[in-house]
Structure 1
Amino acid sequence: MASLGAAVSVITTDGPAGRHGMTATAVCSLSDSPASLLVCINRNSRMHDVLAQNGVFAVNVLAAGQEDLSRLFSNADLPMAQRFASAGDLVRTAVDVPGLGAAQLTLACAVTMTIEASTHSVVLGEVREILKGTGEGGLVYFGRRYHALV
């Protein structure tokens, strides 16, 4: 899979099960009418259960040079509160989950369906709000390295 390049995003959620965030590359647009996307989440991850209970999430598409945000939200040893406190400007979205203000783009979604597939769940979300962040360019993970797209 290291040869399959993908955009780098941070998935965030908040609600009855609490606030959580994780770095993901398994994110894909699904439809433009209604605007929808999908995120693949390992069923053994903490995010899987939190997201299932909260029913809402945001996809924060990282920008060129934001490797630090990707590493921050993929650090399993770092408490969740510290991840969010270190993430910079947080913005509240229409689905009441935190977005990363520094990201290139934040897509706030409501879960519409979950499909179990192998070790993961494919979570489909309908986009309820799109927020432009301060980040510019794109960030791709390929060959076990980050690559900036400007």
Structure 2
Amino acid sequence: MIQRPSDDFRVGMRRLAGGVCVISGSTKSGEPCGLTATAVCSLTADPPSLVACINKDTRLGAAVRTAPAFAVNVLSARQRPVAEAFAGLISGVWGEARFSYGEWREERPGVPLLADSPASFVCELDQVVDRSTHLLLIGLVVDVRLAPQESNPLLYVDRQFVQSTHKVDSP
């Protein structure tokens, strides 16, 4: 059987561990929506900005084009059920029901934040880049919420969630 470069690419990317986040926002009608993502990184420190990549065929992918803001909620190892819910891995849990996992609050209209996230970044949508199946969201960070306790980061590698052995200290 002939291996295609895209097959090798997928296998190679499975070997790259990524921090797990839930990207959250709201639909045009105000319903909260979100998804689990590992393709998140800082872009610049001045001004503070980040990049989040999401599938454009998701509710959030449709909503983000009309939403002025979104949040990136970093997950700890103990928040694995939140990651599973927002990744669609829990049978019968979709849409707003995902927000029954974890404690969510909305300090800014249309931007749900995970209350005990090790770090949450509230972003104003600066730019959307449409690339094949995904959207690259460039967000200008307007607020950062840091949890007061230390946490073990939740990682995703080789198609599974794993706990880091490294503890992140509180600020």
Q: In the aligned structure 1, how far is the partner of 2:70 from the partner of 2:82?
A: 17
Structure having the higher Rg: 2
Q: Which residue of 2 aligns with 1:143?
A: 158
Q: Provide the TM-score with structure 1 as the length reference.
A: 0.89
**Residue from 3, 10, 14 that aligns with 1:2:** 14
- Classify 1:103/1:135 alpha carbon distance in 2 versus 1 (closer, same or farther; 3 Å): farther
* Amino acid aligned to 2:43: L
* Amino acid aligned to 1:16: K
Q: Which residue of 2 aligns with 1:66?
A: 79
Contact 1:93 1:108 in 2 (8 A): no
* Amino acid aligned to 2:26: D
Identify which range, 1-10 or 94-103, moves more after superposition: 94-103
Please, what is the CA RMSD of the aligned residues?
1.8
Q: Provide the TM-score with structure 2 as the length reference.
A: 0.79
Q: Which residue of 1 aligns with 2:116?
A: 102
- Note the C-alpha offset of 1:65: 2.4
2:90 counterpart of 1:78: no
* Amino acid aligned to 1:128: V
Structure 1 stretches (4+) deviating beyond 3 angstroms? 93-96
Higher share of residues assigned strand = 1
- Classify 1:44/1:96 alpha carbon distance in 2 versus 1 (closer, same or farther; 3 Å): closer
Which stretches in structure 2 are left out of the alignment for 5+ residues? 1-12
**Residue from 112, 119, 129 that aligns with 1:115:** 129
Contact 1:29 1:36 in 2 (8 A): yes
User: What fraction of aligned residue pairs are identical, expressed as a percent?
Assistant: 31
Count of residues in Structure 1 that have an aligned counterpart in Structure 2: 149
Q: Which has the higher contact order (CA 8 A, sep 6+)?
A: 1
Secondary structure of the residue aligned to 1:21 is strand
* Amino acid aligned to 2:24: T
- Classify 1:96/1:118 alpha carbon distance in 2 versus 1 (closer, same or farther; 3 Å): closer
**Residue from 102, 109, 118 that aligns with 1:88:** 102
Which stretches in structure 1 are left out of the alignment for 5+ residues? none
